Amino acid sequence: ELLDAEVRLMPANVPPHRAPPTATATQRVDMLRAALRGQSRLALDTRELDRSGPSYTIDTLGEFRREFGERPLLLLLGADAFAGLRSWHRWRDLFDLTHIGVINRPGVDACIPVELERAVAPRRTDDPAVIRAQPAGRVIELAVTPLEVSATRIRELLAQGRDPRYLL
């Protein structure tokens, strides 16, 4: 276990680096509330929905840093999202506020751009103790139970009237 803390799921209001989600903010919050029912270590955080305009992760992390002081923070990203980090607003400043945990998903081959790899190479660690000892600045690869699940596949099943229960 990397950190003894809760995991906050934070739907974006207007994601500036990709197309807007098909589901409305209200629908996404309702789906997350249903999915999180009975979970003790996962929490819904709607602060990005409460902002007007684009949702920038750097702003949210700044709020967390003010809220939690020097406590280590870990931003969890799928490898595909991490590979696109250079398109994020003030991406280099993220390392001043948080560690980044990169989760590899089965079936997703994320090619890390050279500029990004150069920026993160000296920050990489495979030691969770390093993450616990510092408030921010490192990148760690995280192993997860491999399940090949995609939102696209879930939508396809729903459109066909089939039950996606075990994928949710």
Cα–Cα distance measured from residue 50 to residue 10, given in angstroms and rounded to the nearest whole number: 11
**What confidence category does residue 166 fall into, taking pLDDT thresholds of 50, 70 and 90?**
low
Cα–Cα distance measured from residue 136 to residue 111, given in angstroms and rounded to the nearest whole number: 24
Tokens 């934070």 correspond to 10
First vs last C-alpha separation in the chain: 23
Is residue 88's pLDDT more than 80? Answer: yes
pTM above 0.85, yes or no: no
Per the CB < 8 A criterion, the answer to whether 96 and 67 are in contact is no
Tokens 């409460």 correspond to 50
pLDDT of residue 35: 84
pLDDT of residue 111: 86
- Choose from 16-30, 43-57, 117-131, 132-146 the range with maximum mean pLDDT: 117-131
Q: How many residues does the chain have?
A: 168
pLDDT in tens, 15-70: 666 676 788 888 889 988 888 888 888 889 999 888 877 778 999 999 999 999 99
What's the half-sphere exposure (Cβ side, CA atoms, 13 Å) at 88? 18
Beta-carbon count within 10 A of 153 CB: 12
Burial class (CB in 10 A: 0-12, 13-18, 19+), 121: exposed
Query: In sequence order, which residues have a C-beta less than 8 Å from that of residue 163 and are 6 or more positions away?
Result: 157
